[in-house]
Structure 1
């Protein structure tokens, strides 16, 4: 490719396309006498049965390691809930409320800001011979998450007083304030870990975070017990957030060590403040990414807060339900992540037919997983609460909520899965547009009306509203994918999305266009 050619990059709307398609593999044909072109699908003669078998096997083998990684990360909160559940209802309620605020005010915006690295780092690594641009963009992400934590830290320092003003009980407010003050020590390393994880993934090193979690998980289990219950070093309630802070630092130090002692360090470059120049370009992708995540995530956290207004019993039961959901969500979310990779890869190669069948297989698999998880949880609905507490009132309320929970659980998992397909298609804006009315115009208002309005259904009312929001969002996205997506057009749209100018600092003479075979090898390593 000539150095004088116009060289352009993937943008955030197609974050999983990590290279341009090779020019030698694409057959171009004009569309409607316009200058637009699409590659010719070379697999039109492959049978439908063969495609389904191949994609099912690929999805199965690729989702297993991703599910392990997702599950381990989610299990940390689950273990912390178990460690405090036997201390009492107030302690369990305060932990649930604290984790809700951590998710809503730290993890949701922080991971949203960090997710923009999936676009910048991937394109920098595959399109430039100067791999240190991956580190350049990662430093932008670290800067963004650091700024985001400043106002959050100030807010957390006074959270106990704010909760009292909002009508929370003095006992829960005090415990929640203590939890957040200690947890803040590990807030920055948690978000920095998310940035560095994407720094590694951009270079095709996909299992680094999994290995780090495998090593840290036993430490977290031991610390959660020892710092809460151990006769020699146990601190009671305050030991749970301390164990989480220690775990966050170990995750950060673990992945940093992996970078230092692996070839990934060569992509970091020399540290300087040059990354601040033009950082507005980073925020133009990072802010919409965070906003898209906020539409659905915030709805769940608001339901938790609304349940807390009915007292510690309702809040504790809510904690048991949402902890179960966070665990069962990981499998469909991992399938969605693998699906996004596969569809993005296939669209980049012009194989629109295979991409279409990948989406169908993925959706079908998601329903199978959802049915299995829902059946298991519903069968054990009368004993599930005892995993967290000995309080019979909490256990009874958990059993009462379980029928509503299994509906939400299935379709929330489908949202995580289908979200991967929407990302591969570059339809994040549409996803956010569908999420907002589903949750914030229909689901949440209905839930608060049923729960706190004239029907006086209490926490059950919140779950009925949540069902409306989650199911509406899930079905609307699936209807779009199954009936409205023109997959041949999506190939053309995919190729057009990967073309945007990069920062002026980038040396255009260093740009390369890797062959398709290299891209395929990269995706193979991800599996």
Structure 2
């Protein structure tokens, strides 16, 4: 994935004879391998704790689904529809918009521009607060939306109940995500890990108390989700307030109210990129929902397993966007090119691990969600397709993050639209409806992701890395009052060449 903007990884050495040339070539190759090893080490140090953070976040939802499964099939199916719409009209939108910060924050940290990081963080909070207010209106009317979609009235009522709780949970969840991305850009992962683990404990205890002790049913599950998200935000924000940050960060900067167009120019393609991917899964669930409640429950269990296993590509893709962005912000296009290659290899290896884990445990993990024999048989039958999908999803997600780290979310949005909405959703829906099977939707996703992987590989291969460096510098410096090098040094923050891990 070398780009056309780099002429090579090594420079020519002096010497006129073959004896002088061979040691020079060897030293360059050895130097390149050392850089690759160091980059792989840095990405793994980011990948592992990030995967734990994502796993803890997903477990908040999986705990709730497990509780709903114990309440009954209709409760699980109805709440699944509600959470599906909550994702489409809530989580996907806010997380998509906030993911634009991955580009700005990582590149600003690489350039050591504290002022630019401050402005991006505050600007993101302002924009996303407005977005959450607008989305809450839609979420509050979830039951009406489900009825308009011709869903069963009883299922619509259950789904609407969950969506009303999501309505008040969306703001703290979004603010947590923004602050998490700020720490993540600096490779500081401990705050997010501690807060998500704490929130997981809160969610488990509140589900036990509200559902099994007090008997509040679906309302108890919704309240537990809200309490878990609220505790996540309050904990990480408290850490942010009392961490060692400059006193000026307590002030709302003028730049936070400026250049919203620049932020939105990155945020909307990032949103489209995430919406096209996540939305395709949710729409897939809605399409096969017409095959009956058991089909909904089967797909819900499979999707939750996929979300949990997504911890692996989430870790690798976060490492990819962080390292590529940091290198570009630091003006090192060569290192960014190496990072994009390394993340692709790590994604392939992690995908093999995920597929193997799912295959070898397919007769055991479905019992986490249900004891119904027919439901268990349906889930186990589709598991092989899910395993293959996990392999391709690891690679596709990570390469997409590398492309995004170069500051080109618009390219990712176009490719994602083609892969999921031109190929995956139509093909998967056709197979599922004609054959009346859940496996069809996963086959469609698999074929679409193969096309996506090929497209991302080509896009990274032809990347002009020097041009990406120049664009990163322009983005970062747009939030500074002056571009004088001396003032740039005054705004500098200490570099983090070695990512922080949870073990040090």
Instruction: Name the TM-score class by shorter chain.
Output: 0.7 to 0.9
- Structure 1: runs of 5+ lacking an equivalent: 1-26, 28-42
Aligned with residue 261 of structure 1, among 237, 242, 245: 242
Q: Which residue of 2 aligns with 1:61?
A: 45
Q: Which residue of 2 aligns with 1:75?
A: 59
How far is the alpha carbon of 1:132 from its aligned partner?
Answer: 5.7
How far is the alpha carbon of 1:505 from its aligned partner?
Answer: 8.0
Q: Which residue of 2 aligns with 1:493?
A: 467
Q: Which residue of 2 aligns with 1:447?
A: 428
Following superposition of structure 1 onto structure 2, how do residues 58-207 of structure 1 map, counting pairs within 5 Å? 58-121=42-105, 131=114, 134-202=117-185, 205-207=188-190
**Does residue 412 of structure 1 match 2:387?**
no
1:272–1:427 distance in 2 versus 1, CA, 3 Å: closer
Q: CA-to-partner distance for each residue in 1:332-383, whole Å, 9 max, x for gaps?
A: 221122133334445545472x555544443233222222222222233233
Q: Which residue of 1 aligns with 2:298?
A: 317
How far is the alpha carbon of 1:252 from its aligned partner?
Answer: 1.2
Q: CA-to-partner distance for each residue in 1:216-269, whole Å, 9 max, x for gaps?
A: 222222222222212xx3422221111110011111111121122112363533
Structure 1 or 2: larger helix share? 2
1:342–1:118 distance in 2 versus 1, CA, 3 Å: closer
TM-score normalised by structure 1 residue count: 0.81
Q: Is the 8 A contact 1:451 1:458 kept in 2?
A: yes
Q: Distance in 2 between matches of 1:267 and 1:381?
A: 53
**Does residue 460 of structure 1 match 2:460?**
no
Q: Distance in 2 between matches of 1:60 and 1:119?
A: 20
Q: Which residue of 2 aligns with 1:282?
A: 263
Q: Is the 8 A contact 2:109 2:326 kept in 1?
A: no
Q: Is the 8 A contact 1:132 1:267 kept in 2?
A: no
Q: Is the 8 A contact 1:117 1:138 kept in 2?
A: yes
- Which 10-residue stretch deviates more, 438-447 or 206-215? 206-215
1:264–1:505 distance in 2 versus 1, CA, 3 Å: closer
- Structure 2: runs of 5+ lacking an equivalent: 1-10, 12-26
Q: Distance in 1 between matches of 2:243 and 2:326?
A: 26
1:238–1:56 distance in 2 versus 1, CA, 3 Å: same
TM-score normalised by structure 2 residue count: 0.85
Q: Is the 8 A contact 1:310 1:459 kept in 2?
A: no
Following superposition of structure 1 onto structure 2, how do residues 375-524 of structure 1 map, counting pairs within 5 Å? 375-452=356-433, 455-481=434-460, 484-485=461-462, 489-490=464-465, 492-500=466-474, 506=481, 512-514=487-489, 521-524=495-498
Q: Which residue of 2 aligns with 1:10?
A: none
Q: Which residue of 2 aligns with 1:19?
A: none
Q: Distance in 1 between matches of 2:310 and 2:45?
A: 19
Following superposition of structure 1 onto structure 2, how do residues 27-38 of structure 1 map, counting pairs within 5 Å? none
Q: Which residue of 2 aligns with 1:8?
A: none
1:125–1:469 distance in 2 versus 1, CA, 3 Å: closer
**Does residue 368 of structure 1 match 2:345?**
no
Q: Distance in 2 between matches of 1:393 and 1:50?
A: 53
Q: Distance in 2 between matches of 1:478 and 1:244?
A: 38
Residue-pair matches, total: 476
Q: Which residue of 2 aligns with 1:222?
A: 205
- Which 10-residue stretch deviates more, 74-83 or 459-468? 459-468
* CA root-mean-square deviation: 3.1
Q: Distance in 1 between matches of 2:110 and 2:314?
A: 26
- Which 10-residue stretch deviates more, 458-467 or 500-509? 500-509
How far is the alpha carbon of 1:467 from its aligned partner?
Answer: 2.0
Q: Is the 8 A contact 1:435 1:473 kept in 2?
A: yes
